[in-house]
Structure 1
């Protein structure tokens, strides 16, 4: 699936006409959507879905192909009881199954999908780990300790350079990349950190037993609370929650730009459009021509955060969760004619 890349120069263009038209009135679930789009809640924290009690504090998510259907995976940012769950959808969109793919881990916040169809679930706790999970539920999850021990937020795979980018949720967190010895096997490899000079330097001790990973390289560049992360079209986009920034690391040129503020979560559509969750309960579209326009608004959910944005493999359904703190949460599906 190819993605167009956002232009690297000039400001984003706020306002203007959305490619989908104006938002309509909120539906029964509180979502205000453009004409031609529909929505439903596919899971609620504490309630059964296909026999599974859906987890609290739903966070990062991703979709995976499954024959004629697909799977949506969602993390749980709960202390000690976090982990991740999966929803299996049939080709007609009905839910066939729900099951756990990771249990007994701590504060599983965001993560990222791999090109070989595994899910990287990231622990946010002190000396957190990255767990590689099987979204199909056939294999047990495994920790990938070579990817470092720190407050992991999100991960994004770059298949061209064969690295995995990672964010760190610290007030002086870093932006990392992991270079596995063999692409497709994350058991061993080299952890590197982005430096102020624009170069990447090796983190001497990824296990961080005596000194935090972010403090091991003097020239390391620091960010105010690394958050969401997504790779598309030669660019790794990531957000920083401290200053609500949206950043773009152009892996082809090695340059880093701050695109805008007010963003928490991010994903990309097959069209090349970016979909970004705001600090408010809104999701905007950023088109390849840099125009920023509203796509949806969730009313009646003050104090909630939108997380886990992900498109189905066919690009016709967008999933996300709305959560408040580490308690209640709902996982939504928006369907319609997204532009190709």
Structure 2
């Protein structure tokens, strides 16, 4: 079978699974957002000032965190290319307990995020993107009327897990925080320290999970039924943004009812709110390639029903919505169908394309297969590649792109789940279909989680 192009990578692999995969083909199967307050936490060496186009605090290249890290070296023992001074380690492998007595790590790990613990440690929350009957409707929309009712009767095999770290970075436990769901993709750590996990099927829901494993997960139908990819939270304005991973997908916003997130409340109750869909005005999407365009929000039709059956023709199509991130009046999201990074300026009420592969010029055209994203407070957008060159690429406000790392020998996997430890000195990322090679080293498998250790010479940030 020829290798799929980056834009069709995951759908091609899903067809292999759904239409007759065997045990020998399963390892080739495929397997994020923010409130703008915690991409990197206290403990750094730089106090940035000012602002830039991306809403970050760095105003010159010297202040950026990863701008000047230098070229990537040869692959290390874990199969990862990093710049000088950086190191990696593998912290969890699918179907294996990451610590003594811990629950084995789930398969096909995708989006992830970090919650601090009171003892100075942290918890990494991770989704398990195991497909199910409902995935048929994601893969082949014409089959959704058949697949969706069956999905509602068959418990999913996906969900989410938690990986617990002590303050020195030692992995001490893992456990499930969500079960019975299907094709859980990305999500977000909330300001109130829960994990929102997204189901990427036509009837998909967002689920709120307790990273500490004390409370049962609950579904949030008020956030809509659609192929949820990722979530981002603007807690100051009490708004939630969501992407939809479908070729005719839309970009959504949820506005809580006044009594659902009342003044002074730390969080919404997620019982009542308005689901809205983005509509680009002015010169439209093509105009946004050249300059910022105005946008408005339109109330979703039949918000309690699958949105793939209730499209509003005057709302804007975004081909394959992926990661989303909110920070300082900016909402960034990616679309894999056209390899673009979009930016909403929520104060100016405009949208523009911050990166477009088809029009980017060398050397700043190294990003393809755009997927999960995260940001640093400096205004650097870190984009994971689904396929592509299996890189994490940093996008800068002036258009410069810098590769942060690259996984080799796992070309039919994807990178996801990037998130920083509370002190900003470690970054986590997954290889959704990576795993140990019988002969040694790492290749394709059922998923694994890496840690990138960042040297002290790289600027950190004090919040």
- In structure 2, the partner of 1:43 is 92
1:61 to 99, 112, 117: 112
Gaps of 5+ in 1: none
What is the Cα-based RMSD across aligned positions, in Å?
Answer: 2.3
Looking at structure 2, the residues matched to 166 and 150 of structure 1 have their Cα atoms a distance apart, in angstroms, of 10
| Higher relative strand content | 1
1:90, 1:96 within 8 Å by CA — same for their partners in 2?
yes
Looking at structure 1, the residues matched to 331 and 309 of structure 2 have their Cα atoms a distance apart, in angstroms, of 21
Q: Normalising to structure 1: TM-score of the pair? A: 0.91
Greater C-alpha radius of gyration: 2
Are 2:335 and 1:335 equivalent residues in the alignment? no
Looking at structure 1, the residues matched to 459 and 123 of structure 2 have their Cα atoms a distance apart, in angstroms, of 22
Paired residues for 1:184-263 under 5 Å: 184-185=267-268, 186-197=270-281, 198-208=295-305, 212=308, 215=311, 217-260=312-355, 261=357, 262=368, 263=370
| Higher relative helix content | 2
2:186, 2:372 within 8 Å by CA — same for their partners in 1?
no
3-state DSSP class of the match of 2:193?
Answer: coil
Looking at structure 1, the residues matched to 220 and 305 of structure 2 have their Cα atoms a distance apart, in angstroms, of 14
Looking at structure 1, the residues matched to 220 and 74 of structure 2 have their Cα atoms a distance apart, in angstroms, of 46
Report the number of matched residues: 332
Instruction: Give the deviation of 1:196 after TM superposition.
Output: 2.8
Gaps of 5+ in 2: 1-36, 40-49, 55-60, 132-155, 262-266, 282-294, 358-367, 435-443
Looking at structure 2, the residues matched to 74 and 214 of structure 1 have their Cα atoms a distance apart, in angstroms, of 31
Looking at structure 1, the residues matched to 173 and 110 of structure 2 have their Cα atoms a distance apart, in angstroms, of 20
Looking at structure 1, the residues matched to 314 and 162 of structure 2 have their Cα atoms a distance apart, in angstroms, of 40
Are 2:230 and 1:110 equivalent residues in the alignment? no
Q: Normalising to structure 2: TM-score of the pair? A: 0.68
Instruction: Give the deviation of 1:218 after TM superposition.
Output: 3.4
More relative contact order, 1 or 2 (CA 8 Å, 6+ apart): 2
3-state DSSP class of the match of 2:271?
Answer: strand
- In structure 1, the partner of 2:43 is none
Are 2:315 and 1:269 equivalent residues in the alignment? no
3-state DSSP class of the match of 1:258?
Answer: strand
Looking at structure 2, the residues matched to 18 and 269 of structure 1 have their Cα atoms a distance apart, in angstroms, of 12
2:73, 2:82 within 8 Å by CA — same for their partners in 1?
yes
2:217 to 133, 136, 141: 141
Looking at structure 2, the residues matched to 300 and 291 of structure 1 have their Cα atoms a distance apart, in angstroms, of 27
Looking at structure 1, the residues matched to 114 and 309 of structure 2 have their Cα atoms a distance apart, in angstroms, of 30
Point out the more displaced range, 18-27 or 71-80: 18-27
2:384, 2:393 within 8 Å by CA — same for their partners in 1?
yes
Paired residues for 1:316-335 under 5 Å: 316-324=425-433, 328-335=446-453
Instruction: Give the deviation of 1:25 after TM superposition.
Output: 2.0
3-state DSSP class of the match of 2:92?
Answer: strand
Looking at structure 2, the residues matched to 243 and 162 of structure 1 have their Cα atoms a distance apart, in angstroms, of 30
2:433, 2:448 within 8 Å by CA — same for their partners in 1?
no
1:269, 1:315 within 8 Å by CA — same for their partners in 2?
no
- In structure 2, the partner of 1:285 is 394
- In structure 1, the partner of 2:14 is none
Instruction: Give the deviation of 1:212 after TM superposition.
Output: 3.4
